Structures are given as C-alpha cells and as structure tokens.
Amino acid sequence: MSIVLLSIFSIATAAVVAQGTAASADNRARIAASGLAQRELEFVADIIAASPEGVDSLLSPATAVNPNVTGDLDSGDPVFAYRVDGDKFRVERQTKHQMIGAGSPCEVGGPATTKQFATLVQVTVAWEGMSAGTKPHVESALFPPHRGASAAGLADQAILGVDVTGVTGADAGRPDMKVRVTGPGTAFETTTDATGCAIVVVKPPATGADYEVTLLGHTGPTLYVDSNRQPQPSQTVYSLKPGDSRPVPFELYDPAASLTVTVDTTLDPSVTSVAVLPSSAGFGPEMPLPLTDGKAEFDILCPGNYSVWAGTSSGTPDAPGPVSVVFGPLPVTLGPTEHVEVSLP
C-alpha cells in the first residue's frame, strides 16, 4: 500500500513539476516574443515616417510573415525563422488602413471627402513548442497619417468601403471577414474590422476603371452564406475614378444552416421531390431537390424562415417545373449553424 501511495504522489508531483516547467518556458519565450514584436513595430514606424509610398509597401501584401529576419536572429527555419536564446519564433505582421475623421466610406451616403487614414499594424509572435492553451503574443499600434498624405496628396486614389452585415446577433456587423479586391494593377486582400467594415484604397486611371469585390468568407472555419446561398458573393464597382468614395454593401451574410426533410412515400410513391421556399424578403429563389430513400438534404441555407413542400417532379404543361403537385407547406425557422430535421406526411 505504501508503494502504491508513493507512486500516486510521485506521478502527481511530476505532473505539477512538468506543468510548472512548461509555464516557465512559455513565460521566458513570451518575453522574447514581446521584444520581437516591438522590434517589428519599430521597423514599421521607420517605413511610415519615410514617405506615403512606404505605407503602400506595407499594404502590398497586407500580411507579411517573418518580414525582417537579419543577422544572428536568423534560425534558418522557414516557419519559425527567428532565434532568440535558443528558442525559435514566427512573426506575422498585418497592416490595414484605419479611417480617421468624420464619416466612413462604409456608410451609404457618408462623407465622400474623408481621405485621412491612419495605419493600423498588428504583430503576432508565436514560438515553437508552445504549450497547449497558450496564446501567441500580440501587439498593435496605430500610426497617424504621413505628413505628406493630405487630401490633395491622395487625389490619385479612390476608396472602397466594404460593409458586411448579417441578420442575426446583437451586432449586425460581421468582423473578421476576408475581402478581395481586383482591378487594374490591383489584387488586394484584407479583413473587416469589429464593425464589419474593410477600407480598400486603390489607384484607378483618370478615365475610371471597374473593380471586382469578392467576399471570401470568415477567417475561421465557420461557413457563411448570403441570402442566395452564396458563400463567396461578388460585386462589381463600375467606373471608379480618382477621388471617388464608394460603399460596397454585402447584406444578410450569416453562418450557414442546414435542413433534412424526410417524407413517408409509402402512401404515395409518386412523391419524389422536396422544395424549400424562402419566406423572408430579399432571400433567394425556391430550391428543389429529389428525394433519395425518402430524404432530401439542404446543406447550405441562410438563416431565416422557409416553407417546405413535397410533391411530384414529372411536371405537366399546365404546371411545369420541378414540383407539379404539391403537399404542404410546412413552416420552418432556421438559426445560424443550426441543423433542423422535419418530416412531411
């Protein structure tokens, strides 16, 4: 019994010691990570102070990984490229425009003359062998506009305010949504801020140009879709000219829901399809699917209210289409990320 108790206490003590050792290693690495983050922000400060063009270089691309590895800091590792006191680190820098002054280009009808931008820079430092549950070290800084970047100095540029909103949640703004803008000489990606707004500055020709704005989705694993079941909707901004400020709204963008409809076809084998019809204003068209073993799976739906119908799918001259004889409807309400199973008689 003594040996058993001694073994239990020894294992518990070893676990506590190991946990303490891992925490100590993380604390030591976090101190070095803080120094690397401050070092990166100092590099950025020098670039921004040099010229307005320096800000453009930070935004193309907006995300840089291990951007300033030099000298003794170089570990030779393509992922954890920095070495400090025997530990290896990965530095990621994200840069975006931050509108200052009144109004925002994401507001419909907002001031079109606001052209003063701060530069928001966030540096995230992770290290090799981080303990489970340990978060990377993050530092950010907001740099004021360059002294030469006045409204007149930005006369060759135009602003796109990409505004992403949903219909669920306390705040309709959709943060952390990836946005891509392509056009003449432009292939730019950024993410929306806490209000669901992403500011993109482009340099169109004097005669104007068209730009394609695509909503790529959430930076995390959650699938978002619009009311037309599109996970990556696009819009074209036509004839954008220098000095323009255009809002580009993406509305009704929410985490996708799913629906399984089961139909008992033993009473009427002619029932071969199911249709789902959105009953909310602004939502997409009817979605028919054939029944397979008495079931139909709708896996990408925008949250909202729907009517579910079942019927035959042969169609007649008087009633063409995927469902010619209908049975229903059954009202269904879908919440974000929700999976609902319903049965029709």
**What integer pLDDT is reported at residue 112 of this predicted model?**
47
What is the average per-residue pLDDT within 47-67? 81
What is the average per-residue pLDDT within 232-255? 88
Average pLDDT, the chain: 80
**Residue 158 vs residue 258, higher pLDDT:** 258
What is the average per-residue pLDDT within 283-310? 83
What is the average per-residue pLDDT within 213-236? 91
Homologous superfamily (CATH) for 156-254: Immunoglobulins (2.60.40.10)
Residue 298 has pLDDT above 80, yes or no: yes
CATH 2.60.40.1120 residue window(s) in the chain = 256-344
What are the CB-based long-range contacts (under 8 Å, 24+) for 12-17? none
What is the average per-residue pLDDT within 37-65? 84
CATH architecture designation of domain 256-344: Sandwich (2.60)
**Residue 83 vs residue 104, higher pLDDT:** 83
Q: What DSSP letter does each residue of 250-279 carry, written as one string? A: E-S-EE-EEEEEEE--SS-TT--EEEEEE-
**Residue 305 vs residue 104, higher pLDDT:** 305
173 is written with which tokens?
A: 């703004």
* Band of pLDDT at residue 319, cut at 50, 70 and 90: very low
CATH 2.60.40.10 residue window(s) in the chain = 156-254
**What integer pLDDT is reported at residue 19 of this predicted model?**
54
**What integer pLDDT is reported at residue 164 of this predicted model?**
92
Residue 306 has pLDDT above 60, yes or no: yes
Q: What DSSP letter does each residue of 45-66 carry, written as one string? A: HHHHHH-HHHHHHHHSSSEEES
DSSP 24: H
**What integer pLDDT is reported at residue 329 of this predicted model?**
78
Picking from 222, 212, 210, 246, the residue whose alpha carbon sits closest to that of residue 104 is 246
**What integer pLDDT is reported at residue 15 of this predicted model?**
52
* Band of pLDDT at residue 223, cut at 50, 70 and 90: very high
Q: Tell me how long the chain is.
A: 345
| Residue labelled with tokens 């076809």 | 265
**Residue 262 vs residue 118, higher pLDDT:** 262
Of 22-36, 110-124, 126-140, the one with minimum mean pLDDT is: 110-124
**What integer pLDDT is reported at residue 194 of this predicted model?**
84
Residue 86 has pLDDT above 70, yes or no: yes
Highest mean pLDDT among 165-179, 260-274, 292-306: 292-306
Using a pLDDT cut of 70, give the percent of the chain over it. 79
**What integer pLDDT is reported at residue 108 of this predicted model?**
60
**What integer pLDDT is reported at residue 12 of this predicted model?**
57
**Rounded Cα gap, residues 102 and 78, in angstroms:** 43
* Band of pLDDT at residue 332, cut at 50, 70 and 90: confident
**What integer pLDDT is reported at residue 81 of this predicted model?**
92
* Band of pLDDT at residue 311, cut at 50, 70 and 90: confident
* Band of pLDDT at residue 1, cut at 50, 70 and 90: confident
Residue 313 has pLDDT above 90, yes or no: no
Q: Is residue 310 packed enough to be buried (19+ CB in 10 Å), middle (13-18) or exposed (0-12)?
A: buried
pTM here? Answer: 0.64
